[in-house]
Amino acid sequence: MSKVIVHSLFSEFDIDLFKAGKHFRLYEKLGSHPMELNGEKGTYFAVWAPTAKSVSVVGDFNGWQGKSHELNVRWDGSGIWEGFIPELGPGTLYKYYILSNNFGIATEKADPFARLCEHPPKTASVVWEGDYSWQDGNWMDTRGDKNALDKPYSVYEVHLGSWKRKENNDFLNYTELGEELVKYVNEMGFTHVEFMPIMEYPFDPSWGYQLTGYFAPTSRFGTPDEFKQLVDKLHQAGIGVILDWVPSHFPEDAHGLGFFDGSHLYEHPDRRKGYHPDWKSLIFNYGRNEVRAFLISNALFWLDQYHVDGLRVDAVASMLYLDYSREEGEWEPNIYGNNENLEAISFIRELNETVYGNFPGVQTIAEESTSFSMVSKPVHMGGLGFGMKWMMGWMHDTLEYFKKEPIYRKHHQNDLTFSMTYAFTENFMLPFSHDEVVYGKRSLLYKMPGDEWQRFANLRLLYGYMFTHPGANLIFMGGEFGQSSEWNYNQSLDWHLTQYELHSGIQELIKDLNKIYKSSPALYEKQFSQEGFQWVDYGDAENSVLTYIRKGHNQEDDLVIAANFTPVPRTKYRVGVPKTGTLKQLFNSDAKKYGGAGSKKMSVTTENEPWHGYDNSIEITIPPLGIVIFQ
């Protein structure tokens, strides 16, 4: 086997950008790149290891022997080791053997920029050269409009390893998912899918939230090109793709980023800032220029190379606060004496500015559970720059309310109405995510009180309320057909339940809610604006009824919504309306097709009887544990 030939893909300008933390296409330079040099085919390798005494490429081609293929360190102090090895090509298994100047510590590491990794539990990197031809030009040309904040955003959250499995419990691969998942999401009417992390991860019970291969789609389901094909097919079906992305922490696995070159290279050296007590993982050093460039390059990589339409950034709250999950004495205040992580905040702002500056048609979404202000406001206004933020307070308050027996709900009406006091402080997405259906929290269906009829009626009401509340929507897989059991990452969803009328009824309800959401401008044109919502009456706690109006740009599109949170039908219930005419019923959660009692569609004409502060009103029936929508 030939020895390493001195070669570089880096210009001096590249190095200057890298040192300054401003090189955001590092994946084009670092990592392994099959290429031809002076007429000879081989692979160029480059890795950042500034405290290394030597770095060698080891792999199946040299018997994993330490120093036979030693890379050359650059002269410019960048800490980058590089070189070209002839004859090596795609499919080569490799790692970096790093001997450190730090007490002679030796580490054997997977390539942080590898495009493909071995199937876990194996841990080697794989030289990869893709050859995929995208067919999603129409989507890419128009996605800026489809992804805009005044367009429908109904998201189906998916864990690829457990959405559906084969009879022997094997995974569906990316190609099979490209047929079955795309068809299903299209039929259900969701506008976007959100994949829980698909970057390579070593440990299945982490669900993908502890990454070791930041630039590699997990090999559990196939190759990088096959994952591209899955994204492509979703785009061709008019469905956007959001990826969960984890810049908040990474695991201590021996082959991963931790203690990479015998020093705290990627993680913060101070354990008070560099170790996460909840997840027993390491925290990135957001103040180090090269680490910022690594992370921002990674975000852009998925948007660039995989045509992804959005990044949902995991665990943002843990990044923002120095005392997150820490006791007194376990953290150190910042220079201003408070608990904000200024380096992480600076990183997040630069991330969002860079993402939107390079890919204006995408969205970033923060999973952020605290009252940190202006998360979804632009950086130039002093915000963090995200496009949206998960509305965790709404989710918590709403589920707590629905868990209560209806007889007690009149004492807790404020749990539902409180969200409107802050609903427009951020661009909120309403999530019923995977976190709500694990670890003994029960499925959404079994959070509901009462007998079987009441549970399903409550779930239909919950979804109707969700889709008519201001904000975008997210439902975790299985919730759309009322899965009975908690989510189990290690097996398929309980698809057999859809043969039963009540479960298939929930499916039909979600289909119709998605149709109504996408065809009703009042539900999305001003979904993040106070102008898009108006209470009719939030004070009828005695009957546990809420009535409200959703508004778009044109008054003719306005919707009147009435929700009854008790099992007692509200007949001849009068609702004030702002204009005269006939109102058509668009939706009734008690319809027979949804598993309800069969309430019929109806139209009502306004009467010249003042009510709720309006000159006119309508008289309607609100079904038990039901919600109705009129236009």
Question: What residues have CB less than 8 Å from 447, skipping those under 6 apart?
Answer: 399, 402, 403, 441
Conformation bin of residue 374: beta by default, left when phi > 0, alpha when psi is -120 to 50: left
CA dihedral 623, 625, 627, 628 (to 10 degrees): -10
Residue of 314, 350, 436, 480 marked active site: 314
Distance from the Cα of residue 597 to its chain's centroid: 36
b/e 515-539 (16+ beta carbons within 10 angstroms → b) = ebbbebbbbbbbbbeeebbeebbee
The structure tokens 């070669």 sit at 7
For residue 226, indicate whether it is catalytic.
no
**Alpha-carbon span 273 to 266, nearest angstrom:** 12
533, 420 in Cβ contact below 8 A? yes
| CA dihedral over 54, 93, 297, 42, signed as positive or negative | positive
Which residue, 202, 199, 193, 203, is CA-closest to 247?
A: 199
Question: What residues have CB less than 8 Å from 37, skipping those under 6 apart?
Answer: 5, 7, 44, 84, 86
291, 223 in Cβ contact below 8 A? no
Q: What string of H, E and C letters represents the secondary structure of 292-327?
A: HHHHHHHHHHHHHHCCCCEEEECCHHHHHECCCCCC
Conformation bin of residue 306: beta by default, left when phi > 0, alpha when psi is -120 to 50: alpha
Q: Are strands 545-550 and 533-537 parallel, antiparallel or unpaired?
A: antiparallel
355, 313 in Cβ contact below 8 A? no
**What phi and psi values does residue 624 have, to the nearest 5 degrees?**
-65, 135
For residue 367, indicate whether it is catalytic.
yes
Q: Are strands 582-588 and 626-630 parallel, antiparallel or unpaired?
A: antiparallel
Question: What residues have CB less than 8 Å from 121, skipping those under 6 apart?
Answer: 202
Residue of 111, 194, 343, 367 marked active site: 367
Question: What residues have CB less than 8 Å from 453, skipping those under 6 apart?
Answer: none
Which residue, 158, 162, 153, is CA-closest to 189?
A: 153
Amino acid at 81: W
Supply 580's token pair: 């005269």
Residues with a catalytic annotation lie at 314, 367
